[in-house]
Amino acid sequence: MTRLVACPVKTPARREHGVTLLELIIVISLMAILTAVVIPMFGGGVSTTELRGSARQIAAGLRMARSEALAQRRETFLVLDVAGKRFKVDKDPREHKLPSGIDLKLFTAQNDLVDATTGAIRFFPDGGSNGGRITLAAGTRKYEVDVDWLTGRVAILD
């Protein structure tokens, strides 16, 4: 008669269920790559840096117009085309283009409006101005370039 004897059998060590560090690093790397590719596709188009740069560019144009009015002792204009998103200082042949994703608004004297989409800010020979404000916006971000009517001082407001 045969007798069965239990023989101790070694079972393989039980592996803990979970992820290894290598697997975790690979998944995080893939997510970072996908995020870097996908987010710019849905972005608003105009960065804060571009918006701030455009506000500084307009402020520089306004200061140039004021300096020209003082130096040449004559009225000088900065003409802003809101629809075309560009501006020009009176006698300067260069026309400055702004990014297309920026929304522009011009607040100036009624007699300095050329048409429904174009207007000007005027500087006088004494350094004063008719005053006004140019608002640049992209989404919820905006900058306002103010011109003081008495002194002609140009300031950028957040």
The per-residue pLDDT for range 72-105, each reduced to its tens digit, is: 999 999 999 999 999 999 888 999 999 988 999 9
Q: Note whether residue 27 is domain-resident.
A: no
- 79 within a domain of the structure (yes/no): yes
Residue 1 predicted with pLDDT over 90: no
DSSP calls for 76-120: EEEEEETTTTEEEETT----EE--TT-EEEEE--GGGB-SSSEEE
Domain-located, residue 77: yes
Residue 15 within any structural domain of the chain: no
Query: Residue 4 domain-assigned?
Result: no
Our count of domains for the chain comes to: 1
What pLDDT digit, counting tens, does each position of 134-156 carry?
A: 999 998 899 999 999 999 999 99
- Structural domain boundaries, residue 146: 48-157
pLDDT beyond 90 at 8 = no
Classify residue 147: in a domain, yes or no: yes
Amino acid identity of 37?
A: V
- The answer to the question of residue 64 being in a domain is yes
Q: In this predicted model, which residue has the larger pLDDT, 20 or 155?
A: 155
Q: Round to whole Å and give the CA distance between 118 and 147.
A: 17
* 102 located within any domain: yes
The domain that holds 133 is classified in CATH as 3.55.40.10
